[in-house]
Chain A
Amino acid sequence: MTVSPASWRAWLLSEAPASRLQARLGRATRLGLALGHHPLAVAGVGVLAVLLVVVAIGPWLAPQDPAAQNLDARLLPPGTPGFFLGTDELGRDILSRLLCGARPTLGIVALVAVSVAPLGLVVGSVAGTVGGWIDAVLMRVTDIFLAFPRLILALALVGALGPGLENAVLAIALTSWPPYARLARAETLAVRRSDFIAAARLYGASTPRLVVRHVMPLCLGSVIVRLTLDMAGIILTAAGLGFLGLGAQPPSPEWGAMVSSGRKVLLDHWWVATMPGVAICVVALAFNLLGDGLRDVLDPKDTPTR
């Protein structure tokens, strides 16, 4: 069988998919093609691809050991041979620290994402499917957490549990899940009365099975889009905790903590605080561009009527 790009394309974009896999891949392809018309979203994807490479092989790309202190080479300006972005107050190479710092910085974000989305998904889809007083209680709890100021609650939690990467993740996750529960519940209510749910119930499917097999998969799409849009906010909160000294602890090259250490020498040695800030900004912007593009593609309300 010959497989040409054209036949692949035809298979992927077929109006009558023969299998579930084909239908799913087809949907993803259409989404990708639509995103391709968004130059800004493409730029975001490009930056994120580079970032993933850095997360994967950053420590090998780094020209120097990110933790190696060299007090003879303190606070060298950017462009010094061997230290492309200069050195910090302990003589550590900033470029190497940035490359290695992608891991802890994005690690927080990834951990928050994988804990927040399932939690919100479970709470929302259970509340929506079961209804009754369970729904009322779960949504009340969600509303309570929604009414909290996010950073302040995270501060109080980290204060109680002690600073550190794990506690920062826990604090951010605890304050970020409510919107997902809301979203999943709304999606669930939209499908709750569908025929396929009634059919599954008639076949004797239990409520847990209904929630896990039939309702949750339908909520997943919108939860993922929402997650992309939230990524930048999570990165900024995590970096903020790092800046306050409550996130990753030294000598970890987490970007927010790097800005914080650069603050002490800001007025005479601008580059120490500037470089990690630029890195945070670029990554957050990339997520925002991608999320914005995704929303445009998925929300037909906001597309020009032409």
Chain B
Amino acid sequence: MGRFRAPGRGFWGGLAAVPVTVLGLLLVTFVIGRVIPVDPALGLVGDRASADALAAARTGLGLDLPLWRQFLAYLGAVARGDLGMSVLTGRPVLEDVARVFPATLELATLATVLGVGLGVPAGVVAAARRGTWIDHGLRVVGLLGYSVPVFWLGLMGLLLFYARLDWVPGPGRLDVLYEGLVEPRTGLLVVDALLAGEGEVARNALAHLILPASILGLFSVASIARMTRALMLDQLRQEYITTARLKGLSEARVLWGHALGNAAVPLLTVIVLSYASLLEGSVLTEIVFSWPGLGFYITNSLLNADMNAVLGGTLVVGAVFIGLNLLSDGLYRVLDPRTRPP
């Protein structure tokens, strides 16, 4: 996965680069906010306001200052956790984001669980049976996973499993009947319902979750299976595998114990990165399933020209992305003894 940093690069180097990256992220969101064709002051006072009122509003928003001072003011505001007010909901953007984020987290987590649960065994089997029809079949299925537009697959899933077969409930996080029964604590509906002892609500929430999570997880099944296969093939070439086989260990033990064990560390970093890309990739899935998560929030704000909310959401996703990248580097550092100084 070329977009991700190669694992094993100095962790401290990566850590030192984080402030620069975050600053770059802020600069980009700031610039995007500046080049909007809509004048924020005009949006505030309306287009029939007098020139004086407009000028006053511009001064009030700090739009008459030089750009670098505006950027510093923006940095200060972000540091205080002030991402501006959402025009659409009338609440602070940070509050909104905190409210919708658990829904995305829930979706991406289950999708990653599915991705690991199916992708790792598929990759191991493909590596062990390399060149056979199983390997080729898994490869085609994997490429298919890379090729299907997720929004379309979501629609097809709804059509088949909801409308035709009636196996799963429709879009949204809960049936209307169950809404508001559970006090939000973690924001993760299934967990909240279980904490409150509402088994039926939990079951309903899980039923709503299963289809979007599977659709979203398909991509990560494909990418995790492919990486597992490549990492396993690297391991199976090593001499210790020959040794293990010569010692008379069973093939299952060699594969799942020795080879997979040694492939586990790089695999873990791949999984963390795939989790990060799912948090982002859920945008289209959330739209299709009317899933009130971060992607839905950002897109909805975008369609309503609520730029504060869009940029705030972008900033949060970017920050989570950077954090998970760092975590993946750190994990590699901690778990792989070869990266430790002698």
Contacts and interface: CB of A to CB of B under 8 A. Distances in A.
Interface of A: 40, 140-141, 143-153, 155-162, 178-179, 182-183, 226, 232-233, 236, 239-240, 243-246, 256, 259, 262-263, 266-267, 270, 273-274, 276-277, 280-281, 284-285, 287-289, 292, 302, 304
Nearest to B24: A144
Contacts of A245: 303
Given A143-B17, A155-B283, A160 B233 contact: no
Given A155-B299, A284-B148, 12 more contacts: A147-B25, A147-B325, A148-B28, A149-B314, A156-B314, A236-B150, A239-B151, A240-B284, A259-B149, A281-B149, A285-B144, A302-B230
Given A146-B3, A160-B36, A266 B302 contact: no
Given A147-B21, A149-B317, A152-B314, A284 B146 contact: yes
A288 B143 contact: yes
29 contacts: A40-B136, A143-B21, A146-B3, A147-B322, A149-B318, A152-B280, A152-B295, A152-B317, A155-B298, A156-B311, A161-B37, A226-B2, A233-B146, A240-B283, A243-B149, A243-B151, A243-B152, A244-B287, A246-B302, A256-B149, A259-B149, A259-B151, A266-B155, A273-B155, A276-B152, A277-B156, A281-B147, A284-B146, A287-B147
Contacts, number: 164
A288 B283 contact: no
B291 to A, nearest CB: 15
Contacts of B325: 147
Given A226-B2, A243-B284, A288-B143, A259 B155 contact: yes
A151 B32 CA distance: 15
B32 A160 contact: yes
Given A156-B310, A281-B148, A148 B25 contact: yes
B158 interface: yes
A37 to B, nearest CB: 13
Nearest to B170: A267
B146 A148 contact: no
B143 A289 contact: yes
Contacts of A263: 155, 288
A304 B147 CA distance: 26
B281 interface: yes
B98 interface: no
Contacts of A233: 146
B35 interface: yes
Nearest to A288: B143
A101 to B, nearest CB: 14
A240 B149 contact: yes
B45 interface: no
Interface in B1-46: 2-5, 17, 20-21, 24-25, 28-29, 32-33, 35-37
Contact of A147 (B29, B143, B288, B321): B321
A57 B37 CA distance: 38
